[in-house]
Amino acid sequence: MSINEELSQAASCAVSATSDVHPMEDFLRMDRIPHIWCPTCGIGVTVNCFAQALERCGIPLDNLVVVSGIGCTGRVAGYVKVDSFHTTHGRAIPFATGMKLANPKLKVVVFSGDGDLIAIGGNHLMHAARRNIDITVICVNNFNYAMTGGQVAPTSPKGSVLTTSPYGNFEGSFNLPHLTESIGAVYIARWTALHIHRLTDSIVEALNKPGFSFVEVLAPCPTIFERRNKFGDGLDRLRYYYENSEILHGADPRDADIDLRGRIIVGTFINRDRPTYLESMNNHLKQKIGDAYKKYEG
Ligand SMILES: Cc1ncc(C[n+]2csc(CCOP(=O)(O)OP(=O)(O)O)c2C)c(N)n1
Ligand code: SF4
Ligand SMILES: [Mg+2]
């Protein structure tokens, strides 16, 4: 596919459809549109991919819950037409964990930003992945705390110019595929907002994968990150992704570091199996107390 075809597909996800009926209307709360996101922000593209994944994943929507934290990405919970919860900053994962354990039949999806999930919520991410809690986490990584004006985040690449790093960020940043691989996630993929088909496919795979699955989406934030770092608007950033991203399925996540202006490795890095938290608990207690233990199914 040419850059122009890819860009026009991505752009058509970011702006309203020309017909009166949006193709994803069954999955979105159209009464809440227009949404709050800036033109060419990558969050809208990601929501569109998620809606398409919901259409394809085969999971009954009555059984699916979306949980978001706080931030521009955190507003996703308000636009999806499923049961959804807009929780406090950083606490989407513990909230989701509680729901999954209270009702294991639910498919629980956490959809939030890099600051929410990796900074204030980083500890919760770590323990949910370690325990292999059966949830899917979609992380929109725009390399900053956008909603609060663009503070530096643990995901901001070295050299990033942001509100709190006017001379460039000097801290090292997290490589999210490597981080989540080392704490135990069973499915890990990274795409950019340009890779709409591959991102949609990965969300479908993640939704159907038992255990802790993690999908990182590198998304333009034209209003803050792209502007301050002189990357242009969101479409310029998509062009940058086109020219600089390389698909390497199965690559070692340690090689997936992000440089401010360097090559970006994307793909499905990890797809492995291990017992979920509830499977481990049921097996353990069955072994310990035998027939006295009634399998926990919620
Ligand atoms: C306890 C608490 N601390 C700080 C804030 C302020 N706050 C709101 S959103 C946000 C960062 C959001 O960043 P991210 O998750 O990356 O979302 P984005 O806006 O970039 O999509 C912060 C620090 C808050 N709402 N609550
Ligand atoms: S500030 Fe950035 S992340 Fe927030 S809506 Fe605007 S472009 Fe998107
Ligand atoms: Mg962010």
Which of 36, 41, 43, 70 maximizes ligand 1 atoms within 8 Å of its Cβ, making it the mutation to test the pocket?
A: 70
Nearest CA to ligand 2 atom 7: 221
Task: Note the pLDDT tens digit of each residue in 199-241.
Answer: 999 999 999 999 999 999 999 999 999 999 999 999 999 999 9
Q: How far apart are CA 91 and CA 70, in angstroms?
A: 9
Span 60-73, average pLDDT: 98
292 backbone dihedrals φ, ψ, rounded to 5°? -70, -15
Query: What pTM value is reported for the model?
Result: 0.94
State whether the beta carbon of 147 lies less than 6 angstroms from ligand 1: yes
Is the predicted pLDDT of residue 60 greater than 70, yes or no? yes
Instruction: Count Cβ neighbours within 10 Å for each residue of 36-47 and write b for 16 or more, e otherwise.
Output: ebbebbbbbbbb
Instruction: Give domain limits for the chain.
Output: 3-292
Which of 68, 72, 155, 228 maximizes ligand 2 atoms within 8 Å of its Cβ, making it the mutation to test the pocket?
A: 72
Is the predicted pLDDT of residue 10 greater than 60, yes or no? no
Strand positions, DSSP E, 34-77: 64-68
CA-based end-to-end distance of the chain: 47
Class of domain 3-292: alpha beta
User: What's the CA-to-centroid distance between 120 and ligand 1, angstroms?
Assistant: 8
Task: Note the pLDDT tens digit of each residue in 239-254.
Answer: 999 999 999 999 999 9
State whether the beta carbon of 222 lies less than 6 angstroms from ligand 2: yes
Span 121-140, average pLDDT: 98
The reported pLDDT for the residue numbered 297 is 85
Which of 46, 145, 216 maximizes ligand 1 atoms within 8 Å of its Cβ, making it the mutation to test the pocket?
A: 145
State whether the beta carbon of 282 lies less than 6 angstroms from ligand 1: no
Find out whether 187 and 209 touch, Cβ atoms under 8 Å: yes
